[in-house]
Structure formats: C-alpha cells, structure tokens
Amino acid sequence: MDWGRVPADTVVVESKEISLRDVVQAAADGADTPEALMEVLGLEAGEEGTEHLQPILDVFLPAIERLRSGSCGGGCAGCSGSCH
C-alpha cells in the first residue's frame, strides 16, 4: 500500500480502530519505531495491522524530521518565504 497517498482516516489496525492519522500523530509526538508506536497505541506484537507500522514510518518520518528541522524541503521559495 502507498501510505503516502491513502486518506488519513484509513484504518491501519481494525481491532482497535487505529487510523493512519493516529499512527502519524504518535510518530510526530516522538514514537519513531514500531515498538514505540505499539506501546503508545496499546498494541501487541503480531497483532493484525502492526506489520504496517514500519512502512508507515518509512513514509512519514522523513517529512516529520524535515518539519522539526525547519526545512520544508523546497527552500524559502517553497514555503512562500516564511522560513525566516
């Protein structure tokens, strides 16, 4: 699945109704490994859907890191000059 292109309300873990938005928010809040996500989201290893956590992190962690560093990736022109 291309996690960067699916809607934020896509369910990742059906048994707990955890959405992509929930996973990305937890990652943005600092849970940057599958194990950390499982702890924060109350998941058990091997639970259906947990296999998606690493691929989701692979897509979203680089963007989260760019935001944290203040780099939008497009230079100041890409941010409409609001980088300063």
- Give the pLDDT confidence score for residue 30 in this predicted structure: 95
- Give the pLDDT confidence score for residue 25 in this predicted structure: 97
pLDDT tens for each residue of 3-33: 999 999 999 999 999 999 999 999 999 999 9
pLDDT tens for each residue of 29-81: 999 999 999 999 999 999 999 999 999 999 999 999 998 888 665 555 555 55
- Give the pLDDT confidence score for residue 70 in this predicted structure: 81
Q: Alpha carbon of 56 to those of 1, 11, 18, 31: distances in Å?
A: 9, 12, 13, 12
Q: Alpha carbon of 32 to those of 43, 49, 54, 59, 81: distances in Å?
A: 15, 17, 9, 12, 30
- Measured between alpha carbons, how far is 13 from 66 in angstroms, rounded to an integer? 27
Give the SS3 label for residue 79: coil
